[in-house]
Amino acid sequence: MFLNTAEVEVEGSTIYHKTEYRERRSHYAFYHVNAKIDGFDTDRDTFLGAFNGFDAPKSVYENQSGNTLASGWYPIASHRIELTLLPNEEKELIFNLGYIENEQDKKFDSPNVINKDKAHALIERYNTSEKCEKALLELDVYWDRLLSVYTVNTGDEKLDRMVNIWNPYQCMVTFNMSRSASYYESGIGRGMGFRDSNQDLLGFVHQIPERARERILDIASTQFEDGSAYHQYQPLTKRGNNEIGSGFHDDPLWLILGTIAYIKETGDFAILDEQVPFDNDTNHTDTLLGHLNRSYAHVTNNLGPHGLPLIGRADWNDCLNLNCFSTEPDESFQTYGTAEGKVAESVMIAGMFVFIGNQFADLYRALGDEARADEIRKQTAAMTEAVNAHAWDGEWFLRAYDAFGAKIGSKECEEGKIFIESNGFCVMAGIGKEDGRAAKALASVETYLECKYGIVLNYPPYSGYHTELGEISSYPPGYKENAGIFCHNNPWIMIAETVLGHGNRAGALYRKIAPSYLEDISEIHRTEPYVYSQMIAGRDAKNAGEAKNSWLTGTAAWNYYAVSQYILGIRPEFEGLRIEPCIPEDIRNFTVERRYKNTLYKITVERTGEKSICVKGGTAAGNIVTSDREVCEVTVTM
């Protein structure tokens, strides 16, 4: 937008910003104060003064206003009100910044005078302290309701603060915004990630399930008939992003995970029967369940020489570009090169396939289709076999095979000997749980990848650029995907530790990156001490421990999912609410209140040294509780 078109109106104590409204736009903004004003400015240059910066506006410093009407350039909104306060006197002013959309035929009252009816109504709604307090109270109630779906009291104030307030709050923000409005990475316009948005559901689905349902159908509607998917889509048009296209071979699986999380929370199996288009073309549709089967089949239809999933352009690690081979600056590692490589395989997708596939089999069992469930289990078993045969490196799981069939994430490699993602997902999937490989893998993660500030992505970092690896090797050691600490994938190891029953390890890893525990090192960590960041600089970085890109998607959801469902262990299943804590020893007892379906579960967990479960107002099958009452009290000892 060229600011050459800036226009404003001022009426009483209200400033109207109506840039471009005279032509094709039908919205404007207003800024009101509920007091008589002694002056105003809407022209930025006058407000700031020719030689003053934003930190020292001339109008403020000289206590004057120009009563300017911005025209053509740089509109702002500023009220000047002269207040005299007696000792101890208080005065209250309400400033109201609002946004109005009008219908096309109701845009103007008279030529170029905007229709202010809706603005007047909105101002009226909040023009006294009483009205504002009431509205703020309503907002409190709204958030209390959202946040009361899951509340914990462990006695660890930092843990409770994250689980009860900030982590679910960040989950909602990332659910709403995803990356489509991220300044950090690439400005606006990046769109919602297929992969990201599905993962965001994990941390959001219990808050407003109806919106999660809509999101799942939106995402699935961008899928192709062969199960592949646009990597990104635009939230307003809900259409796939052609510039980046498809070819990220982990994408399809995340749709299964997101949908299952939704059904486990709500019991809404009916969503699976919804007819959902392919590539937004309503002439070509299938049920959502059909979409999930295509997602699943996309993996088995794209296996490589070792029976492991082909990686395509990349898997979750967008910077591991094994079919790219870029040599020119400014080529995008994500779109340069091909997704068609028939050699490069991802062990992470293999782990995902088993982790998500087992849940997919459970879904079919819950639907009563044991035959299809068995079929799926056979495929996850075959994938487990392929991993054991070709992706075990002796002390940990490989990360990938490159386009020449060479190992990535192996002791044979000079750099990048071990990676976090494949070890997280394989152990989460239970691979090697029985034969000790899982425990070995996690021990190797601890030995080689863990540092003071979390788990780095790979070890050792790549010291130079490799065309056959792509963007991962373009970063300085310790940053981003080259041995940075991703807050997004650290929870995979936390969950993996709970799969092996390692509560202390899971808790220790959780506390390493949870923002509330980093308040004391804010001078190192530097981002908000209540928000997860995308990345913390790893031990090989000069400024190890310095975080960047707070608020970004995926991260909040996975941490919330790990702590609420696996560490605290209150986990929705198709059959009911599983209660299976795996907590560090310093947490002796805790209580959780969980609204699940139509029941409020009041759960008490106590360490007594004996395992028991006692349910009042419901029934337990193993550690899975169900109830048809309003309140169900559960006491678990461990």
Nearest residue (CB) to its own copies, 185 versus 435: 185
Residue 131: phi and psi, rounded to 5, are: -60, -40
The crossing angle, in degrees rounded to 10, of helices 503-513 and 490-499 is 170
Applying CB under 8 A, the span of 206-214, 449-457, 539-547, 626-634 interacting with its own copies comes to 539-547
Q: Does 53 interact with its own copies (rule: CB under 8 A)?
A: yes
In whole angstroms, how close is the CB of 183 to its own copies at the nearest point? 12
Number of residues that bind its own copies (CB under 8 A): 40
Based on the residue annotation, tell me whether 218 is a catalytic residue of this protein.
Answer: no
Distance from C-alpha of 208 to C-alpha of 222, rounded to nearest angstrom = 22
Nearest residue (CB) to its own copies, 101 versus 273: 101
Distance from C-alpha of 359 to C-alpha of 356, rounded to nearest angstrom = 5
State the DSSP code for 400. Answer: E
| Chosen residue from 542, 588, 616, 629 binding its own copies by CB under 8 A | 542
Applying CB under 8 A, the span of 244-252, 509-517, 537-545, 601-609 interacting with its own copies comes to 537-545
- 189 dihedral zone (left: phi>0; alpha: psi -120 to 50; beta): left
**Binding map of its own copies across residues 59-98, x = CB under 8 A, - = no contact:** ----------x-xxx-------------------------
Local structure of 617: helix, strand or coil:
coil
In whole angstroms, how close is the CB of 327 to its own copies at the nearest point? 6
CB within 8 Å of 439: residues ≥ 6 apart: 432, 500
In whole angstroms, how close is the CB of 98 to its own copies at the nearest point? 19
Pick from 580, 624, 622, 628: nearest CA to 264: 624
| Chosen residue from 245, 307, 460, 476 binding its own copies by CB under 8 A | 476
Pick from 244, 401, 422: nearest CA to 337: 244
Nearest residue (CB) to its own copies, 238 versus 571: 238
Residue type, 455: I
Site for its own copies in 303-332 (CB under 8 A): 326-329, 331
Q: Does 480 interact with its own copies (rule: CB under 8 A)?
A: yes
Pick from 457, 608, 570, 562: nearest CA to 167: 562
Q: Does 58 interact with its own copies (rule: CB under 8 A)?
A: no
Q: Does 187 interact with its own copies (rule: CB under 8 A)?
A: no
| Chosen residue from 323, 410, 474, 565 binding its own copies by CB under 8 A | 474
In whole angstroms, how close is the CB of 636 to its own copies at the nearest point? 44
Nearest residue (CB) to its own copies, 1 versus 86: 1
Q: What are the C-alpha distances in Å from 11 to residues 8, 32, 96, 434, 533?
A: 10, 10, 14, 74, 43
| Chosen residue from 112, 176, 301, 608 binding its own copies by CB under 8 A | 112
Other C-beta atoms closer than 10 Å to the C-beta of 16 total 24
Applying CB under 8 A, the span of 18-26, 33-41, 140-148, 443-451 interacting with its own copies comes to 18-26
Q: Does 110 interact with its own copies (rule: CB under 8 A)?
A: no
- 10 Å CB burial of residue 452 (0-12, 13-18, 19+) is exposed
Residue 636: phi and psi, rounded to 5, are: -115, 130
| Chosen residue from 453, 475, 558, 561 binding its own copies by CB under 8 A | 475
- 10 Å CB burial of residue 83 (0-12, 13-18, 19+) is exposed
Active-site hit among 43, 156, 200, 318: 318
Interface with its own copies by CB under 8 A: which residues? 2, 4-7, 20, 22-25, 53, 55, 69, 71-73, 111-112, 185, 326-329, 331, 463-465, 473-476, 478-480, 537, 541-543, 546, 548
Catalytic residue numbers? 318
